[in-house]
Structure 1
Amino acid sequence: MPGFLITYVRAVEAFNHRVGRIMMYMIFALMAVLLWGAVSRAWFSPQIWTDEMGQFLLMGYFMLGGAYSLQLGSAVRMDLLYSRWSDRTRAVVDAITILTLLVYLGVLLWGGIESTQYALEYGERRRGIWQPYMAPIKIIMCIGILMMLLQCTAFLIRDIAKLRGREI
């Protein structure tokens, strides 16, 4: 494999690993917001922002941690046949499924970018009492999808290298 592809795979995986490790701690921010919402309902006046902020934090946690989850192999895989296949067969099947995932993520990113442009252009707000702006969470969503796209291309490069008899 050309050196720039190996560098690309290593850079993407290092970046996604770092972001994923940081996002692991987002769960504590989510817990703090939800705990504050519960405490404020019980002892103070209810806060209108805690439920929606919790939803936004969960979305960021999920989207920005998605590439790291893929990297760790935490995605669901049907292991009924997969474990019995040779490494070469696994690489072929993985390459095919990654290509379909790349198409899906590409369409998802395209829709996300259009939705983000709309939110920025018209100042879209979420319906409800608090009415936060939607653009920040949509931007985070697009970044997370892009990170998953990059991770999937790194997987595809790894699978092609494996098919050629070289490991990255």
Structure 2
Amino acid sequence: LTFVLPHWLYWAGVVLFPVIAMILVRRQRGLQTRAAVSMPLAYMLWLTGGFVGLHRFYLRSWLGFLYLPLFIGILYSNSDGRGAREIRSLADGDVMIAEFDIERAQKALDDGKDGAQARSEAAHAVLEMARDRLIVADDSMVRAAKTAQYLAVGIAFLLLIDATLLPRLTRLQNQREPTAAASTESDAERNSDSGVQSVRTLFTSATDRIEAISRFSGEYVAYWSVIAVFVYYYEVVARYVFNSPTNWAHEAMFLMFGMQYLISGAYAYLTDSHVRVDVLYARLSARAKAVTDLLTSVFFFIFAGTILGTGYIFFNDSIGVWEVSFTEWAIQYWPVKATIILGAVLILLQGLAKVAKDVQTVVRGGVT
């Protein structure tokens, strides 16, 4: 495999995938009933994991086990190929050393030195053995590659058959299994269950909007984790099935997780998920907690303001030279550094909303 993720596709996926995912999730929540199995999901499993029969297992079909021996055979063949490649590399090095020794022995013979003939014969013997190992390794590599190709053709043939059968198999499975009723839980109830404060506790429309933005940003970047699943899945398959590790998967994902960390700070603050030492704080009343939060908020705003100012400097310097990474992939760095500013703005807004709520709590004597 020689695929390298284009920069435009990476950034388009980071921006658009969460939007598409949220639309699909909301559409699914709006359904009154849910089928036992989904044809789009079956095709997705066919595309991403069909080579091990995942789509068949999803449809409760034991015929998925037909794929496993073929796939295991590919892994075994590739393992043999890697071993043969290592042997060939060592043999190639021995050939170079033997040829060098032969040249030195020949010069010694020309100079009439004692033992030169024996050294020359020994070097020629080593050269012949190394060349024999090269031939054996080359044959093993070719045999392993052909075996893997034949097994891959077999898997591809089964996948083509299943691609035409999936609609029928999905329909039959839905007829066999009862239809499940969709959950009628509202978004507000979900937020309450996940620790997000209910809309009823918001005091102003401003804090309402800020918390909605924080909640949206947290949900948005959460879907990036799904992208990571697909990318690392591709990396593992490319590395161990096709002997073709990528030069972009790891860099793409650690940059994405860095951006996720920055942008999700406001959501973590909203849901009180940041790490804190609350041995004493947890024992305080609601009003005492609000007073404590107000007194210590100055440190929060110093921290968040520093991130905002420093982030702007980093971003300005980066976009000024259109900074890219030093790897072969050479991905743009300035969008990554722009998320420092975005994350700082989001957490500052959420901090202001928290201050407003704490003031309300103090004024009302802890009654919310």
Q: What's the TM-score once normalised by structure 1's chain length?
A: 0.89
Counterpart of 2:284 in structure 1 is 85
Between the two proteins, what is the percent identity of the paired residues? 25
**SS at 2:204's partner residue?**
helix
Post-superposition offset of 1:145 = 1.7
Paired with 1:38 and 1:95, the residues of 2 have a C-alpha distance of 49
Match of 1:102 among 289, 293, 301: 301
Partner of 1:31: 229
- Comparing 103-112 and 85-94, the one that deviates more: 85-94
Larger mean Cα displacement after TM superposition, 147-156 or 28-37: 28-37
Paired residues of 1:66 and 1:148 also in contact (CA < 8 A) = yes
From 42, 55, 74, the equivalent of 2:254 is 55
Opposite residue 204 of structure 2, the aligned amino acid is I
Verify: 1:6 aligned to 2:204, yes or no.
Answer: yes
Partner SS for 2:326: coil
* Contact 1:59–1:141 (8 Å) recurs in 2: no
- Cα deviation, 1:76-123, whole Å, max 9, x if unaligned, reads 222211122122221111112222111111011101011101111111
Q: Is residue 22 from structure 1 mapped to residue 244 from structure 2 by the alignment? A: no
Written as runs of structure 1 = structure 2, the 5 A alignment for 1:64-143 is 64-143=263-342
Give the number of the structure with larger relative contact order, counting CA–CA contacts within 8 Å between residues 6 or more apart.
1
- Normalised by the size of structure 2, how large is the TM-score? 0.42
Partner-residue secondary structure (3-state), 2:257? helix
Which string of whole-angstrom CA distances, capped at 9 and with x for unpartnered residues, describes residues 51-95 of structure 1? 110111111221222211111111122221112212222111111
Stretch moving more, 158-167 or 27-36: 158-167
CA distance in 2, matches of 1:32, 1:66: 24
Q: Using the alignment, how far apart are the partners of 1:20 and 1:134 within structure 2?
A: 22
Q: Distance in 1 between the 2:282 and 2:237 partners?
A: 48
Q: Which deviates the most, 25-34 or 157-166?
A: 157-166
Larger radius of gyration: 2
Aligned amino acid, residue 296 of structure 2? T
The residue correspondences of 1:140-151 to structure 2 (distance < 5 A) are 140-151=339-350
Quick check: 2:322–2:332 contact (8 Å CA) kept in 1? yes
Partner-residue secondary structure (3-state), 1:74: coil
Alpha-carbon distance in 2 for matches of 1:32, 1:63 = 22
**Distance in 1 (alpha carbons) for counterparts of 2:234 and 2:341:** 29
Structure 1: any 5+ residue segments left out of the alignment? none
Distance 2:258 2:345 in 1: 15
Amino acid at match of 1:164: V
CA deviations on 1:18-72 (whole Å, 9 max, x unpaired) are: 2212222211111211222222222332221111101111112212222111111
Give the match's secondary structure for 1:83.
helix
Partner of 1:164: 363
Q: Which amino acid aligns with 2:362?
A: L
SS at match of 1:75: coil
Q: Structure 1 residues 39, 141: CA separation in 2 closer, same or farther (over 3 Å shift)?
A: farther
Question: What code does the residue aligned with 2:211 have?
Answer: E
Deviation readout 1:3-28 (Å, 9 max, x if unpaired): xx822211100111122122222111
Secondary structure in 1 aligned to 2:276?
A: coil
